[in-house]
Structure 1
Amino acid sequence: MGDVLSQAEVESLMATMGGGAAAAGAQAGASAPSAGARPDARHDGGRPREKVTPYDFKRPERVGKEQMRALQTMHEGFGRNFGAALSSLLRNIVEVKLTSVDQLTYSEFVFSLENPTCFNLINAPPLEGQLILDINPSLLFPIIDRMLGGGSTVASAARRPLTEIELRLVSRITNLFLSEMRSAWKNVIELELAIDRVESNPQLVQIVPPNEVVVLVSFELAIGAVRGMMNLCLPFNTIERIGAKLSANSWVSYGKKPASAEAVQQLGNRIGSAAVEMVVELARTNISTHDLIGLRVGDIIDTEKDCKSPLLVVVEGRPKFEASPGAFKGRKAICITQPYEKQNVNVAKKG
């Protein structure tokens, strides 16, 4: 049969294949990098190696990195302000620290929570859908104990749903949270935040499909020896419409807006009622210590200042006005004539 190879032909073919493999091995050894070369500089078949990153289709990253950085920066400032406000409410030092801003599915978020817990559903018009604020019970019960006049001892956290009275007390915390969150988001969008309802079992609440992507913003609260977590859940379909406003550049530009007329007026009203110190300087002169000790009521001190020259009015240690002395309804008084100008005084001294 012509298709059957002889033994000599088979050995010749095997030798040819062995020689090619040896040549390929020699070529690979010749092209091997030196001891000082980087491993990522190797080439396979003339093309550089590419780093392969696994992609999990169950957890798609739908929120961009720039938007995640903007959310992180925004809530870092929120944490500082909320900690200060909560410290004032509880009359104790409260530290609020942003621990993470992550993307995960709604089912993963729900099953990571304790049961029972304080699961707050938040309406946030004009955003569509609802937000979620979860407060760990290990943090809530010590706060409630503190609000009811408890001491520095740590109260044990009971594994039970909150009572109606406890929910009323917790509403002061959540309302404070919403107020500070509204201020943190106002540079991006004006939110009308309000608690819709409070649930104890998070697994019974389905505001989005289980595989829907959510952004989880986690905070760690420390009140003395008590530590606990507070989680803010932002579903992707809720913040998808404002994704362009959440970019880092636009967020910074929003933060640099000039002060509004209402803000200036409000600041002026608060400063207008503040008390300041005002002193009128009649004259200046030098006397000896002996003359100072010997001063008595009715003594006259001579100065070189002309009686017709204006008096200097000093406000909070700074010269502000020039005035003339006089009397009003039988009391010593001054009449402000003009604002203080340092150049005029210097010219007068030189003259």
Structure 2
Amino acid sequence: MSDNELDPTAALPKDEPLTPENMAAEWAAMPDMVDEDGEPEGGIDRLMSQDEIDALLGFSGGDDKGARTGIQAIVESGSVSYERLPMLEIIFERMVRLLSTSLRNFFTDNVEVTLESIRSVRFGDYINSVSLPAMLAVFKAEEWDNFGLVTIESALTYTVLDTMLGGKRGQPAARVDGRPFTSIEINLLRRVVGVVLGDAQAAFNPLSPVTFTVDRIESNPRFVSISRPANAAIRVELRFDMEGRGGSLHVLLPYATIEPIRELLLESFMGEKLGRDPIWENHLATEVWQTDVDVTCVLHETQMPLKRVMKLEIGDTLMFDARPDSVVSLRCGEFMVTEGRIGRVDDKIAVQVVSPLHRSKTTMAAFDSITSHLSSAS
């Protein structure tokens, strides 16, 4: 038996890429291997090459690295992907700069703060990934009427406690497992959380004033259910480095918490006003005031059966329930503008307005929405 009979990729054209679809087709088209008596050969299995295994798992080295196939596509289908919020990155960059100064004054020691990552996660997945022991502080955004979470990992927790209680510099913090945090330790960590939330509040202030207050401190992730497990949240990871020791601090904001300022977070820079061009608005208003519209004067309207209308002939008379002093309606298209009485001025027919104009029910908010869509489309 030749090697080509054992290798299903030998029948593929050289210019055709190896994919799970054509690989499966080749396997299905292969004849069963039989011996001279027509019986299946024993002890010989169909073996997959390394390229076939990579294609099945989705790790084929093609040029299109953004596309995922095979098992990897199934695994990554559960990942959270939400819209990018450019202003959020600017806010937390500003928060890092504020924290670098605040923590140096708080610890009277050199503290380096870096922004590691900003990513979207599911709340349940994040809670399950928290390694114990850890300190979890639930805080409330008063103006947004919702909650957020600050998580201090164990390495940073013991580093902070060791530094605040007079530990020596340059030595790793002692880690004591198997016991809950004491009231003194919780109060010390609450002060650190207060510093972090204070700088976060100052970072959000130019965009949207907000007040962050600590609601409670927990050490068990099961007791911080501030959102549904499947809901999306933004996880901001900050790295604290204190002369070779430190750890990570996470700020978790559910998407429901930042929903009141979502439009502001979509801006590329502070103060950006998308779709509001004063020059364009003034030009639109000028053109609208100079626009000519057709106004129809309706003397009277009546309804009659269709068969009667079909029987009308020249000379027939239609009777209207109206008098010479009856009120007529002035309409612009299907919209009724006002009412008046008909008369004559010189050799022209005139209408005297007897009631105020009917105002449009379109609110100013709806007008702003319409103008924003029009400006975006232009």
**TM-score interval, smaller chain:** 0.5 to 0.7
Alignment of 1:152-231 (within 5 A): 152=169, 153-159=171-177, 160-231=179-250
Amino acid at match of 2:175: A
Partner of 2:81: 61
Partner of 2:356: none
Instruction: Confirm whether residue 94 of structure 1 aligns to residue 111 of structure 2.
Output: yes
Partner of 1:244: 263
Partner of 1:335: none
Mapped to 2, the partners of 1:226 and 1:71 lie a distance apart of: 28
Amino acid at match of 2:172: V
Mapped to 2, the partners of 1:226 and 1:57 lie a distance apart of: 37
User: Once the two structures are superposed, what CA deviation does each residue of 1:230-261 show, in whole Å capped at 9, x if it has no partner?
Assistant: 0000101111221101123353549xxxxxxx
Mapped to 2, the partners of 1:133 and 1:170 lie a distance apart of: 11
Instruction: Confirm whether residue 131 of structure 1 aligns to residue 151 of structure 2.
Output: no
Partner of 1:81: 98
Say which SS state the counterpart of residue 96 (structure 1) adopts. Answer: strand
8 Å Cα contact 1:216-1:231 kept in structure 2: yes
Mapped to 1, the partners of 2:106 and 2:159 lie a distance apart of: 14
Report deviation, 1:129: 2.1
Mapped to 2, the partners of 1:174 and 1:187 lie a distance apart of: 21
Amino acid at match of 2:202: S
TM-score (norm 1): 0.54
Say which SS state the counterpart of residue 154 (structure 1) adopts. Answer: coil
User: Once the two structures are superposed, what CA deviation does each residue of 1:287-329 show, in whole Å capped at 9, x if it has no partner?
Assistant: xxxxxxxxxxxxxxxxxxxxxxxxxxxxxxxxxxxxxxxxxxx
Unaligned runs of 5+ in 1: 1-24, 29-48, 255-351
Amino acid at match of 1:199: E
Say which SS state the counterpart of residue 215 (structure 2) adopts. Answer: strand
Mapped to 1, the partners of 2:120 and 2:98 lie a distance apart of: 24
8 Å Cα contact 2:238-2:249 kept in structure 1: yes
Structure 1 stretches (4+) deviating beyond 6 angstroms? none
8 Å Cα contact 1:59-1:213 kept in structure 2: no
Partner of 1:288: none
8 Å Cα contact 1:105-1:212 kept in structure 2: yes
8 Å Cα contact 2:132-2:154 kept in structure 1: no
Partner of 2:332: none
Report deviation, 1:157: 2.1
Mapped to 2, the partners of 1:60 and 1:142 lie a distance apart of: 32
Instruction: Confirm whether residue 122 of structure 1 aligns to residue 142 of structure 2.
Output: no
CA RMSD of aligned residues (A): 2.7
Say which SS state the counterpart of residue 256 (structure 2) adopts. Answer: helix
Partner of 1:104: 121
Mapped to 2, the partners of 1:139 and 1:190 lie a distance apart of: 29
Say which SS state the counterpart of residue 268 (structure 2) adopts. Answer: helix
Mapped to 2, the partners of 1:127 and 1:61 lie a distance apart of: 24
Partner of 1:144: 161
User: Once the two structures are superposed, what CA deviation does each residue of 1:25-48 show, in whole Å capped at 9, x if it has no partner?
Assistant: 9xx9xxxxxxxxxxxxxxxxxxxx
Report deviation, 1:150: 2.1
The alpha-carbon distance between structure 1 residues 252 and 222, as it changes in their structure 2 partners (threshold 3 A), is farther
Partner of 2:4: none
Partner of 1:71: 88
Say which SS state the counterpart of residue 209 (structure 1) adopts. Answer: coil
How many residues align? The count is 207
Unaligned runs of 5+ in 2: 1-12, 17-63, 274-378
